[in-house]
Chain A
């Protein structure tokens, strides 16, 4: 029973003897192997760690287990929230929107605005036009957005709703209430690609809606203007740092899809919308001389549109790690015609200094890492720069073209390149087998690595998306020189924490439990 002077929640309550008794009493009624044949559980648990199981597991084709990816509309919601006073609007069932909002909110610990038009059986039969007509008007009336960014769920895609016609129809019947409100619409079927594809499709739709290309009308270019598209970036600090770096070169560099403030509003009052690229600024995107994407594989369709339709200079950079940031800085220098500011050279020097201070702890250490394609290219580069071994690089949503080749090029520079493996299209249950058969020292990844940590005891360094069980990491940058310093700090200190763990046994290992490392 609870001791009122020391009330404990479930964590310790269920360790009390009377609850252990409850667990014991329940067993005879249960039918799982742990209840009827615990020895079998041990036997099978051991079998799952073997090479034999690994082969069987890697041969799996039809069931995905513990994936490291999500679906398109999630990314569409992030893209939409990068624009000022914009409401993401999901044409489909409201259950999807409940999921997107919870998912982002659990990661950012912030509210996530997004509406749906609550399609149901009748919409499945008759199509979702009626929902959209009413939904867009209600959305505008209640939440007063300056732009409504429409994406779709798989339901709307399967029944084949004609999105653009629906938006036109809804606008025509809205008695003027939707006049002057841009309503970009993107097809974001969940059964194609992943969340980064949805980001791409929504970004593409928004930019096209705000920058209509008219036949025979020449857009007056401002060659000094540069657009930066961040991509599906869960690190708000990265957005901030990229903007800071860009501002050191020019005040004519704008971020398209800047969701930094939306998920970082102060206490005091609740505001539905915060920050974001002003729509007036986004409307001039096509006039820029160049657009730089910071996530090549999250902006494939957008890139095609910018190059083809806007006829704009297009570049990709990946400012994660030292080399990636250097390339980004040089690109900005090249495009603006300005020398690299002293401040950036100083920051670079400080990062390199820190890398040289800490390298012994990362050198030769083996890592397993998973995440989105561009994130992996960036963080793996950094691991290679530090002399670490990216033993298992797993990308569940690996793009079919080019990505693997790019990763191989990065690994070419790795001192231990023969030990590195790229696992495209594999999931985290595959990784479990890889970790048991070819173990590593550390894992880098999202919250779903937690169960891998429990099962394999390999420490998890939380870098990625989503992270639900640690707070505030998303506020930091992983991009730029300061982002590099954060990566270095997190990884090095995780290595040192593990070292302390391994050396803390009194009179056994604690001779190595040093106060100075």
Chain B
């Protein structure tokens, strides 16, 4: 199909979707939907409105600022205890669902999969909960003496009832001598989890980075790097770290999957910060650039093409010895990934995918699918900003439907019209599409598999996509006595 026909076809689909809305919502949603092509002309990646209020009354897939701070940025820091401060629900719904892998003795020296809640009741709302919070901090230290700090993650009521958690944290820090960080990431702030990432970054900037206690004994090498914006979902950061180490670099900190408080404080010692999830951690790497002079670089470890490209880009920052080792690493792994491609591409080539995720994945995983001969025909961000969409343009290989903060009604309609062979999105969407008989992979949790970052992980990615696409179960939907 020519670009023009695809373009007009996609535009017609958008127009159809918008018809269902009342006028005001229609006008708003129209700005978030569009089509773009790899060619030079300005398309939806330039024009799409993003990071705006969600239209009320729809099934948005977005989360909140608390989810962005506790769930994404702070939660994976393994040796700190993160309090869900407020009513009981938020901490319970976000407990142990993100697969931020870590090594440690849970409940003794690490705490990621646990849920600490101040469990607000009506009295706390009416009279304020600062006293309770102070007592909670002390109880935590009494029962978990090996914790290396406590963060307080605010739920909606905290900012509304006027509790002064910053003052409580400051006083407690002074008293206990331990890091105590109050994060005002109330769920109603901003339009999605995105503002939560930003608030969380700011608190790392203000409360963690100024801590020099570990820096004085640190012996630098010319090859020190930090991994920033990898949450170690299913072990992603580990399968990334191995490549950086093999190319001769020393990973001195890993933010924030399988990380420790000490690692957080050490990132300013890196020669360069390597940024995977731009959306959730660009703020703090910019700060480290300004404050400590640490440059930063984005990279993409999904699929061998992008991984190789990224490794070379990273190596170019260092000397020839690193570059030579990097070529050896690439050669070693390419032999393996070529075999993976030879094995799976024939089974997957030509298949189409629609993506709807958050963070970096709406653009970063396109290359991995292309390595398998698959085409991404639609993509969008739950909580992206304009700079994410601009970066997406570079990744497009064909005419692509672009949808920002797409809700269930729209996505269902788009999928029915564009008929992809695979939908890759989140758990809330998973069973909607599987019921239609469409193969689906969760691309937040790697559908309980992974890792998906790096060369070894690409083999898993390929195997998982084949598993989803070529399972016999999709052929059973129609009963033999039903006509087509």
Contact = CB atoms under 8 A, between A and B. Distances in A.
Contacts of B133: 62
Given A9-B449, A41-B109, A48-B107, A70 B459 contact: no
A283 interface: no
A31 B208 CA distance: 14
Interface in A11-49: 13-14, 18-19, 22-23, 25-26, 29-35, 40-41, 44-45, 48
Contacts of A67: 88, 91-92, 115, 117, 119
Given A62-B135, A71-B92, A93 B156 contact: yes
Interface string A428-453: 01001000000000000000100100
A165 interface: no
Interface string B60-97: 11111111000000000011000100111111111101
A26 B57 contact: no
Interface in A290-333: none
A4 B260 contact: no
A74 interface: yes
Interface stretch (A150-158, A336-344, A481-489, A496-504): A150-158
B234 A9 contact: yes
Given A10-B450, A158-B125, A1 B332 contact: yes
A30 B263 contact: yes
A407 interface: no
Contacts of A70: 88-89, 92-93
A113 B431 CA distance: 11
Contact of B242 (A22, A103, A190): A22
Contact of A137 (B57, B140, B258, B339): B57
A25 B245 contact: yes
Contact of B160 (A61, A143, A159): A159
B97 A102 contact: yes
A495 interface: no
B56 A118 contact: yes
A470 B462 CA distance: 25
Contacts of A270: 412, 432-433, 435-436
Interface stretch (B8-16, B186-194, B285-293, B362-370): B186-194
Interface stretch (A104-112, A229-237, A249-257, A361-369): A104-112
B331 interface: no
A220 interface: no
A109 B220 CA distance: 49
A134 B56 CA distance: 6
A34 B146 CA distance: 9
Nearest to B474: A267
Interface stretch (A120-128, A201-209, A347-355, A384-392): A120-128
Given A34-B105, A191-B157, A73 B89 contact: yes
A69 interface: yes
Given A60-B139, A270-B436, A95 B157 contact: no
A35 B94 CA distance: 27
Nearest to B67: A95
Interface string B173-192: 00000000000000111110
Contacts of A448: 95
Contacts of B116: 63-65
B145 interface: yes
A196 interface: no
A231 B298 CA distance: 51
Contact of A153 (B62, B139, B156, B252): B156
Contacts of A4: 336, 339-340, 343, 459
B472 interface: no
A100 B460 contact: no
A448 B116 CA distance: 13
Contact of A93 (B24, B91, B187): B187
Contact of B93 (A41, A100, A131): A100
Contacts of B79: 30-33
Contacts of B478: 268
Contact of A111 (B62, B83, B431): B431
A211 interface: no
A96 B56 contact: no
A339 B193 CA distance: 59
Interface string A53-82: 100110011111111011111100000000
A62 B136 contact: yes
A79 B140 CA distance: 36
Interface string B450-483: 1100011001101110000000000011100000
A86 interface: no
A32 B148 contact: yes
Nearest to A397: B88
Scoring A48, A89, A97, A118 by chain B CB atoms within 10 A of each residue's CB, the highest score goes to: A118
Contact of A32 (B104, B193, B332, B431): B104
A34 B104 contact: yes
B54 interface: yes
A493 interface: no
Contacts of B432: 111, 270
B256 interface: no
A124 B160 contact: yes
A132 B56 contact: yes
Contacts of B120: 190-191
B121 interface: yes
Nearest to B213: A31
A386 to B, nearest CB: 31
Contacts of A191: 86-87, 120-122, 124-125, 157
A141 interface: yes
A153 B61 CA distance: 17
A95 B241 contact: no
A139 interface: yes
B409 A93 contact: no
B24 to A, nearest CB: 6
A45 B67 contact: no
A470 B332 CA distance: 39
Contacts of A380: none
B423 to A, nearest CB: 12
Given A14-B238, A33-B109, A267 B55 contact: no
A240 B42 CA distance: 56
B89 A99 contact: yes
Interface string B249-283: 00111100010111100100000000000000000
A7 interface: yes
Interface in A269-292: 269-270
Contacts of A121: 188-190
A371 B286 CA distance: 47
A74 to B, nearest CB: 7
Nearest to A18: B242
Contact of A2 (B146, B340, B426): B340
A135 B343 CA distance: 49
A192 interface: yes
Interface string A159-173: 100000000000000
A390 to B, nearest CB: 24
Interface in B149-165: 155-157, 159-161
A117 interface: yes
B460 A32 contact: no
Nearest to A95: B64
A269 B436 contact: yes
Contacts of A53: 143
A45 B105 CA distance: 8
Given A158-B160, A268-B478, A451-B113, 10 more contacts: A4-B343, A25-B245, A29-B262, A33-B79, A41-B146, A48-B108, A67-B115, A70-B89, A98-B63, A138-B56
21 contacts: A7-B459, A26-B254, A29-B260, A32-B109, A64-B116, A67-B92, A73-B89, A95-B63, A98-B60, A111-B430, A115-B58, A118-B191, A120-B188, A120-B189, A134-B57, A137-B25, A141-B25, A154-B155, A432-B107, A451-B113, A451-B114
Shortest Cβ-Cβ A-B pairs, 9 listed: A95-B64, A31-B262, A71-B89, A135-B57, A135-B56, A99-B93, A138-B57, A190-B87, A32-B79
